[in-house]
Amino acid sequence: MIKLGVVYVLAGLVFAAFALLSATDARNPRRLGNAAFWGLVALSFLAGDRLGDLGNGLLVLGLALIAGFGLLGRGEPATTTPEERVMLARRFGEKLFAPALTLPVVLVLSLLILKPLHVGGEPLLDPKQATLISLALAAVVAVAVALILLKQPLISPLQEGRRLMDVVGWAALLPQVLAALGAVFALAGVGNVIGDLVTTWLPMDTRAAAVAVYCLGMAGFTMIMGNAFAAFPVLTAGVGAPILIRRFGGDPAAVCAIGMLSGFCGTLMTPLAANFNLVPPALLELKDRYAVIKAQIPTALALLMANMVLMYVLAFR
């Protein structure tokens, strides 16, 4: 059975290459910082299971110190100029979309064909991780398509990958580190403390007030934790189940589904949901780190209002 471990080895090798290429990049004055940072990421992917918990903790500390003290620069691998790119774009035409579109096509084919396959009585792909394994496969196939169809140098996937990786910088690791923070919050019982505060101090005498507390609480709590999944159990145990479902007789499916989606409105408004809100501004090279959140806030607030109305109307028929 192909498990996630294969993907980790591939990712580890790619990051190790990024680290080596960074170290020899004379045009980046902070090349050693980049080499150390991507080197630690490579170490995590290749040997994370053998480092021990404390070893991994020190690795995270190392990443945070390199990023926090501004030791990361931006590598400048030799690439094509903007003028050359316009010429190449004219020459290649719509063929240029082929590699990027190979990603979804291979992903879907892999999920449809490889995922159901069994070899020797067990599934070919680890069923729990089939999407990520398929995505890695798609990435490899797409690189091959790009190299052949667009006739690019063999080293270009690593050099161009490193260029984009340096554009994103420390933000690339933030989602993973935030997930780890969630585990520490859980260990310390942060969720329960907030849940107690909400249920003790907020009035929920009427159905409308209880709907508002549950939906706004899901959004606010998600903003603090960065993730609606962390907010859902706390608020549903505190407000959703005892008050909306049992006291006011709400339909459990509608209450929970719309409550979760109220949490997603919070996800749109918090920097803690880094892979959605902080990585894209880095990828798009925007000046304002919070530009995407600012673009989302009006939609999120309007939708949160809509959710409260929907729950009030649909869950109590």
Partner 1 sequence: MLTLLGVAVVVVGFAARFNPLLVVVVAALVTGWAAGLPPLQVLAALGKAFNENRFVSAALLVLPVIGVAERAGLQERARMLIGRFRRLSFAPLLIGYMAFRQMTAAIGLTSIAGQAQSIRPMIAPMAEAAAESGSRPLSAERREKVRALAAATDNVALFFGEDIFIAVGSILLMVGFLAQEGLNLDPLQLSVWAIPTAVAAWLIHSARLMLIERRLRSEAGEDRA
Q: Which residues in the 155-174 window bind partner 1 by CB under 8 A? A: 156-161, 163-165, 170-174
Residue among 116 and 233 whose Cβ is closer to partner 1: 233
Q: How far apart are CA 312 and CA 285, in angstroms?
A: 41
Q: How far is the CB of 120 from partner 1 (least distance, A)?
A: 25
Q: Is 211 in the site for partner 1 (CB under 8 A)?
A: no
Residues forming a β-bridge with 119:
122
Q: Is 209 in the site for partner 1 (CB under 8 A)?
A: no
Among 1, 113, 132, 208, binds partner 1 (CB under 8 A): 132
Q: Is 100 in the site for partner 1 (CB under 8 A)?
A: yes
Residues 212-251 that bind partner 1 (CB under 8 A): 224, 228-229, 232-233, 236-237, 241, 245
Residues 12-51 that bind partner 1 (CB under 8 A): 14, 41, 44-45, 48-49, 51
Transcribe 223-258 into DSSP letters: HHHS-HHHHHHHHIIIIIIIIIIIIS---HHHHHHH
Please name which of 218, 237, 238 lies closest in space to residue 229, comparing C-alpha atoms.
218
8 Å CB contact between 251 and 316: yes
Among 146, 198, 211, 218, binds partner 1 (CB under 8 A): 146
Q: Which long-range contacts (CB under 8 A, 24 or more apart) does 312-315 make?
A: 312/207, 312/208, 312/211, 314/251, 314/254, 314/258, 315/211, 315/244, 315/250, 315/251, 315/254, 315/255, 315/258
Residues 49-88 that bind partner 1 (CB under 8 A): 49, 51-61, 63-65, 67-68, 70, 79-80, 82, 84-88
- Stretch binding partner 1 (CB under 8 A), from 20-28, 115-123, 200-208, 298-306: 298-306
Q: Is 89 in the site for partner 1 (CB under 8 A)?
A: yes
Residue among 85 and 247 whose Cβ is closer to partner 1: 85
- Stretch binding partner 1 (CB under 8 A), from 27-35, 118-126, 187-195, 201-209: 187-195
- The site that binds partner 1 (CB under 8 A) totals a number of residues, namely 144
Alpha helix positions (H), the chain:
4-23, 31-47, 52-68, 82-92, 97-109, 130-150, 156-168, 174-188, 190-201, 207-225, 228-235, 252-267, 274-277, 279-283, 291-314
Q: Is 127 in the site for partner 1 (CB under 8 A)?
A: no
Q: Is 179 in the site for partner 1 (CB under 8 A)?
A: yes
8 Å CB contact between 213 and 198: yes
- Stretch binding partner 1 (CB under 8 A), from 19-27, 116-124, 148-156, 202-210: 148-156
- DSSP type of residue 161: H
Q: How far is the CB of 7 from partner 1 (least distance, A)?
A: 5
Type of residue found at 131: T
